[in-house]
Structure 1
């Protein structure tokens, strides 16, 4: 089998489908993986215990995003299975799709990659454990790891999940009269970031162990819904609701100067809806 430049694992999931809709992959041989992907051109099948298809770079999107602690612990197992297979296949670098949820509560100016976690919820804890398990296992090998701590991916977050079911979105309204604000990354922006990082690795460049991936400024969820012309309702925010969660993406901008752009509500809505129609 010809060695791919990049293999995207978990490409049939929510983020994977959105990413594929915007993927250009200029100058790269790209392969897509899914357990039920069949044998369509450009697709490969891989499950734990199978040899990893030959590739220089692995973008790992697979993971469990919801459920109880036992279900979320599968993330660590998935990460270790992939790390072991990647070492055996002599993969150069793994781009792990992690999440800003690992930070828990973030400072108003946004969490940098060096910000310590502050009371993350179970999903964030599970992804942090996945990052650590993979980093520990890959330490001292020729396979590097870069954990991409993604902001909310437009179309794959709570808003996209609710809209996909046909239900009406309900947003928390806080004491200041406004709703949740989050660091967001559009699927087109995410595709450009992954492509840019992959090209950097293929040229022999190194990547940091951790990298925040989102727009430079957080965006209000209500603004995205307004831009997408999707109706929604308000409810009073509960005691445990968090209004602002954001990241500082200065490190990413230093690696890929054209990214991340100033994500706008209109741009995020457009990328989300374009990918949904693809």
Structure 2
């Protein structure tokens, strides 16, 4: 069992998604008094400390957020949901509703964005790099950031957009692995390198950010360094077949987390593939902690 965490009062929007599930399992495991400190939002009734409403409704957000210090908005439309008919533009609507709800309730707002706003950017990417999204998802998140930050300034609400990198197990490598999985390999023998974070490390980082003050408008969120995707699969013992990387494949995309490290800390092991795999596997053992 981990040591108990000190929590501010938090409303988590979109708590039924992948990252929301991670937080529910790990914050409970770590001794968070969720009944007193964390209110989870869903669209359908559930047993436990849940608020049921549409997170696109700023009035409903404001009512649920009364007495909360922080609104953590994980609600959003992913490419998978968009393929099933959800509107990608709802990413903007959800972000603005969270900001308006925060203004009415007197809570600051953390918005889950994505590294997809950097598009085809290569190398080390700091928050000062202008967004250049290539996908509809990246464009929607970039617009959400721009409009939410502007609205926060207008309404006097502290808004921080979290550009979250790949989360081990909630990604397209570990999370979507199937027998016969194929992975690009470059001429130097390496596979793509990307910014990653283990689920337990992410849960701790988000807790630290929820308790921190004077956050900047944008923060990259990942473990320091980058992880080779082949090494991640190898650490998990998952077989994969190399294929020649196409000419337009990007060898390395790494988020600069020096700004993040002002508000949380990392151990060297947090950046290791074996640690991320261990966190992912431990997460699967915590199903009984979900209310």
TM-score range, shorter chain: 0.7 to 0.9
Asked if residue 45 in structure 1 is aligned to residue 46 in structure 2, the reply is no
Within 2, Cα distance between the matches of 1:87 and 1:259?
A: 36
Q: Is the 8 A contact 2:179 2:239 kept in 1?
A: no
Count residues in correspondence.
266
For each residue in 1:206-250, what CA deviation from the matched residue of structure 2 results, as whole angstroms up to 9, or x when unmatched? 111111111111001111111111122222223432221111111
CA deviation after TM superposition for structure 1 residue 270, in Å? 1.0
User: How far apart in 1 are the matches of 2:53 and 2:180?
Assistant: 37
| 2:226 matches 1:218 | yes
| Whole-angstrom distance in 2 between the partners of 1:261 and 1:167 | 28
CA deviations on 1:35-78 (whole Å, 9 max, x unpaired) are 13x24222211213352202220111111120479842221122
Q: Determine the structure 2 residue equivalent to 1:56.
A: 69
Superposed CA RMSD in Å reads 2.4
Q: 1:174 to 1:120 in 2, by over 3 A?
A: same
| Residue in structure 2 matching 1:234, options 242, 250, 272 | 242
Residue of structure 2 aligned with 1:130, choices 139, 144, 159? 144
Aligned residue in 1 for 2:3: none
Alignment-derived partner of residue 203 in structure 2: 191
Q: Which sits farther off after the overlay, 64-73 or 172-181? A: 64-73
Gaps of 5+ in 1: none
Structure 2 stretches of 5 or more lacking a match? 1-7, 287-291
Match of 2:118 among 88, 91, 103: 103
- The answer as to 2:160 corresponding to 1:146 is yes
Confirm or deny: 8 A CA contact 1:83 1:137 kept in the other structure. Answer: yes
1:19 aligns with 2:6: no
TM-score by length of 2: 0.83
2:221 aligned with 1:207, yes or no? Answer: no
**1-structure distance, mates of 2:167, 2:99:** 24
